[in-house]
Amino acid sequence: MNKIIFLPRLQRERDKFELLLNQVGFLRQMTMAGVFRNLSIKDLLADILSREQFIADRLSEVLHRENYAPSTSYIAFENFQKENGYPDYESPLCHKEKLDHLVIQKYKRISLDDIVEQELAAYISIVAMLEKSTHEQCLDHDLFHRVAEHTYRPYRRASMEIQRWLKSIETELK
């Protein structure tokens, strides 16, 4: 894999996700519970934001030649979340695909517009830092896999739930 292939793939996945969100449209629908269990699209976006912020911070560390080591003890895992505001998603103690309710609670009182703005800023930061990173850095730190894990894989999971929810609303209206 290389940046010439990866960056357009990342952007295509992002475009598909944004198209789906645009399809949902209304603010009211974005904050309605029930999209996935008792969660709203806003809650799913908060989860995506935290994952993107996680990888943006790791990319920054790579560019600044700082070392990141996943948390291996529960105390370190809890301290990581307290310090950063999001879980250590690459820790073996973290359930990778499970939504973190502490993250979702953190964003409950933050407006949808603010979440969208922060999420977009995190995404832009990820792309910019990937563009700055060398091919060797990308390979040495497995950045293509790690970025995919924290960007478009969560987009796909959220999209699946949103599409399922949209179909259920459609059938209720008939």
The percentage of residues in the chain with a pLDDT greater than 70, rounded to a whole number, is 97
CA 32/CA 22 separation, integer angstroms:
15
Q: Tell me: the pLDDT tens digits for 71-85? A: 999 999 999 999 999
CA 95/CA 105 separation, integer angstroms:
18
Three-state DSSP state, 36: strand
Quote the distance between the C-alpha of residue 119 and its chain's center: 8
Residues shown for the chain: 174
Distances (CA, A) of 166 to 19, 48, 69, 147: 14, 19, 40, 28
Q: Tell me: the pLDDT tens digits for 157-171? A: 999 999 999 888 877
Distances (CA, A) of 25 to 11, 22, 31, 124, 128: 21, 5, 11, 22, 28
Quote the distance between the C-alpha of residue 41 and its chain's center: 13
Residue 25 has pLDDT above 90, yes or no: no
The mean pLDDT of 46-63, rounded to a whole number, is 97
Q: Tell me: the pLDDT tens digits for 105-162? A: 999 999 999 999 999 999 999 999 999 999 999 999 999 999 999 999 999 999 999 9
CA 65/CA 60 separation, integer angstroms:
8
Q: Is the pTM of this model over 0.85?
A: yes
Q: Where are the domains of the chain?
A: 3-57+99-173
Task: Report the pLDDT value the prediction gives residue 37, as an integer from 0 to 100.
Answer: 86
Q: What is the CATH number that goes with domain 3-57+99-173?
A: 1.20.120.450
The conformation of residue 39, written as its DSSP 8-state character, comes to: B
| Burial class, 136, CB count within 10 angstroms (exposed 0-12 / middle 13-18 / buried 19+) | exposed
